[in-house]
Structures are given as structure tokens and as C-alpha cells.
């Protein structure tokens, strides 16, 4: 028997009043993939994920989760999926442990040693009351909650939001391990570097449509970065001519602002001939990538 894809979505539409949040989302995620769902604010990431769990109802189109219809088989789908909401709210008047025990009970029990291991790795104090927790610590409770039952499919809505860089790294490792253990991981994000760092495949959603599905390395290859160079003395005229992928040069005395597309190598080699004091690169935000890439095309 051929296994069904983890997610299979066709022409999914959803409007909130007159706001069209999804305008026909098509997406296919295979079993065992670590899949990034990238999109700027308001693109429809949360809406898509919540449709998959039957928390909201699409107006049109079709979605299958692990081969099941989320509407008709809601309970069966949820039993096999771990979900981390993008806007996490947990009953505040209880400790993390109680909240997690309650969720575990709804799932018919989980291996508690694993919960402790997850909490330990995320440096989460299980005895702390939820209401006293910082945003990041609440997020950790959410992450533990999603992972603790070792579900077949993880649907994570911005899993690293509110976490410090060290904890983000730990979450990336946990996702990697979940995948190694056979799970499919589907996570949303609006941070390019995060998706690049861990995802094997990325779908880019924008204005309620999938703009494209690609290999995350292509994101880097096509993304435009700004490089700010401070030199000891102004560059001679024509110094960077021939550096094909560097454009939009602004000069202000010995300061340069260069826009580079793709790999940095040519620019670095060209600059090597001059005395460089400082060099800074800025990653563009997702919205800037869209503006440069999709608007131009």
C-alpha cells in the first residue's frame, strides 16, 4: 500500500468576512519531510494550519492530513498530529506540569520521562505557574506539548517565536530528532534564515497563495543582501566594474553601500585589493525579498 502524503492541499480558500485570507492554496508534503512554510505577516500561514486541524472551516478546496479528511475524521487526525498554535494561550492558573498532564490525558497518556527530557533540554521549570511565565517560557510549554506524544505529524506555527537564539537552536535540534524518529515536520516562519537553516523544502505563501515551492538554498542564491563597506580611502572610479552580481552602488566618500545578489565571492575578491576597515552584511527581510524578486518578475 502506497503511503498517503503527510499533507495534500488543493485549492484551499478561506475568507474572514470580506478579507480573503486564502485564495487557493496548493501544497503537498511527503512523509518524513522537514518542511518550511514561509510567508510574511498576514500571508495565511496560521489560517492554513488551523484549517488542517478543523479549528476553522475552509470555504472551498480540499485538504487531506495523513490521508484523512480533517473535517470528517477530526478526532483521528488530531490523535496523530502535534500542534503548536501561533498564538498560544494556556489556562494561566496552573503549573506547567499540570497543563502538560492535562494535555497528556487528552491524548490518552504520554511517556512522562520524555516530557522531563524535553523540559530539561529547553530549560523549562515544570513547577512554575503558567501565569508567572515569560513569553518565551510559555512558548517552551507549547513546544513540549506538541512534541511529547511523538506524533506522526507536527504542525508548528512559528515554533521559535519568543525564544532566545540558544533555545531556537535547541528547538531546531528537537525538530531534526523528531524527523529522524520518522515524523513529518511542517513549520511556519517568516524568518528566511531559520527556514534556510533547517528545512529541506520550503513553500512560500503570499497573499493567500503559494508563490512557489523550492529548495531553501535557492532562497539564499536569489536573495539580495546589502553590504556596507567602510574603506580607508575612497575607491577609485570603476573599481567594482565587472563584479556582475553587485549593483546599486552608493558612495559617500570612503563609505560604500553595495547590493549583492547570490554569492559574495566576486565582491570579496574585488574588495581585497583595497584597505577595508569594516564590512557589514544585512539580510533582507522576507518582504524585501518579495519586493525584489516577485515584483520584478
Partner 1 sequence: MLASYPPALMAFFGDVMTMNTPQGYFGVYYASYMPLIVGIFVCSAAAGLLAGDEERGTLDLALAHPVGRTALFWGRWLALMVATGLILLLAWLGWAVTLPFTDFDVSAVNLLLGYLPMWAMLGLFGALALLLSMVLPSARLAATTAGALLVGNWLLSGLAALNDNLQLALDLTPWALFQGGEAIVALAWGPLLALKGSAVALLALAWWLFLRRDIRVGGERSWSLRGLRRA
Ligand X SMILES: Nc1ncnc2c1ncn2[C@@H]1O[C@H](COP(=O)(O)OP(=O)(O)OP(=O)(O)O)[C@@H](O)[C@H]1O
Binding site residues, partner 1, CB under 8 A = 17-18, 46, 50, 53, 55-57, 74-76, 78-79, 81, 83, 85-91, 103, 106-108, 142, 145
Q: How far apart are CA 66 and CA 68, in angstroms?
A: 6
The answer to whether 28 and 6 are in contact (CB under 8 A) is no
Strands 184-189 and 34-38: parallel
Nearer to ligand X, 149 or 199 (CB): 199
Identify what 297 binds: Mg ion, partner 1, ligand X, none; CB under 5 to 8 Å per kind: none
Question: Which residue, chain included where needed, has cell 543582501?
Answer: 225
- Least distance (Å) from partner 1 to the CB of residue 45? 13
Does residue 286 belong to the site contacting ligand X (CB under 6 A)? Answer: no
Q: Determine the interface stretch with Mg ion among 38-46, 66-74, 105-113, 245-253 (rule: CB under 5 A).
A: 38-46
- Secondary structure (H, E, C), 138-207: HHHHHHHHHHCCCCCEEEEECCCCCCCHHHHHHHHHHHHHHHHCCCEEEEEECCHHHHHHHCCEEEEEEC
Does residue 82 belong to the site contacting ligand X (CB under 6 A)? Answer: no
Nearer to ligand X, 84 or 115 (CB): 84
Mark residues 4-43: x for contact with ligand X by CB under 6 A, - for none: ------------x--x-x-----------------x-xxx
- Least distance (Å) from partner 1 to the CB of residue 139? 13
Q: How far apart are CA 74 and CA 53, in angstroms?
A: 7
Mark residues 148-187: x for contact with ligand X by CB under 6 A, - for none: ----------------------------------------
- Least distance (Å) from ligand X to the CB of residue 258? 30
DSSP-derived 3-state class of residue 119: helix
Nearer to ligand X, 39 or 216 (CB): 39
Does residue 46 belong to the site contacting Mg ion (CB under 5 A)? Answer: yes
Q: How far apart are CA 19 and CA 13, in angstroms?
A: 11
- Least distance (Å) from partner 1 to the CB of residue 206? 22
Strands, E assignment, the chain: 7-16, 19-29, 34-38, 60-65, 81-84, 153-157, 184-189, 201-206, 209-214, 224-231, 246-252, 255-261, 276-282
Cα–Cα nearest to 78, from 18, 8, 155: 155
Instruction: Give me the residues that bind ligand X (CB under 6 A), please.
Output: 16, 19, 21, 39, 41-47, 86, 190
Instruction: Give me the residues that bind Mg ion (CB under 5 A), please.
Output: 46, 86
Amino acid at each position: 500500500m502506497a503511503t498517503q502524503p503527510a499533507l495534500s492541499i488543493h485549492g484551499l480558500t478561506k475568507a474572514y468576512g470580506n478579507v480573503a485570507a486564502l485564495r487557493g492554496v496548493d501544497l503537498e508534503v511527503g512523509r518524513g519531510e522537514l518542511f518550511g512554510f514561509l510567508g510574511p505577516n498576514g500571508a495565511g500561514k496560521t489560517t492554513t494550519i488551523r484549517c488542517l486541524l478543523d479549528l476553522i472551516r475552509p470555504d472551498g478546496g480540499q485538504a487531506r492530513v495523513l490521508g484523512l479528511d480533517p473535517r470528517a475524521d477530526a478526532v483521528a487526525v488530531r490523535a496523530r498530529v502535534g500542534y503548536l498554535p501561533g498564538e498560544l494561550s494556556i489556562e494561566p492558573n496552573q503549573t506547567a506540569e499540570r497543563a502538560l498532564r492535562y494535555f497528556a490525558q487528552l491524548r490518552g497518556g504520554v511517556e512522562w520521562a520524555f516530557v522531563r527530557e524535553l523540559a530539561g533540554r529547553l530549560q523549562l521549570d515544570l513547577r512554575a505557574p503558567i501565569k508567572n511565565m515569560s513569553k518565551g517560557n510559555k512558548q517552551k510549554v507549547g513546544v513540549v506539548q506538541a512534541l511529547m506524544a511523538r506524533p506522526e505529524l507536527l504542525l508548528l506555527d512559528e515554533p521559535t517565536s519568543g525564544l532566545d537564539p540558544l533555545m531556537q537552536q535547541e528547538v531546531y535540534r528537537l525538530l531534526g530528532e523528531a524527523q529522524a524518529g520518522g515524523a513529518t515536520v511542517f513549520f511556519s516562519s517568516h524568518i528566511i534564515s531559520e527556514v534556510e537553516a533547517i528545512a529541506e523544502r520550503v513553500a512560500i505563501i503570499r497573499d493567500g497563495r503559494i508563490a512557489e515551492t523550492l529548495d531553501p538554498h535557492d532562497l539564499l542564491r536569489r536573495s539580495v543582501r546589502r553590504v556596507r563597506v567602510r574603506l580607508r580611502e575612497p575607491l577609485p572610479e570603476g573599481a567594482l566594474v565587472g563584479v556582475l552580481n553587485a549593483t546599486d552602488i552608493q558612495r559617500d566618500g570612503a563609505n560604500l553601500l553595495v547590493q549583492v545578489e547570490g554569492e559574495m565571492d566576486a565582491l570579496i575578491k574585488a574588495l581585497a585589493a583595497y584597505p577595508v576597515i569594516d564590512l557589514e552584511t544585512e539580510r533582507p527581510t522576507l518582504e524585501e525579498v518579495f519586493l525584489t524578486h516577485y515584483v520584478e518578475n
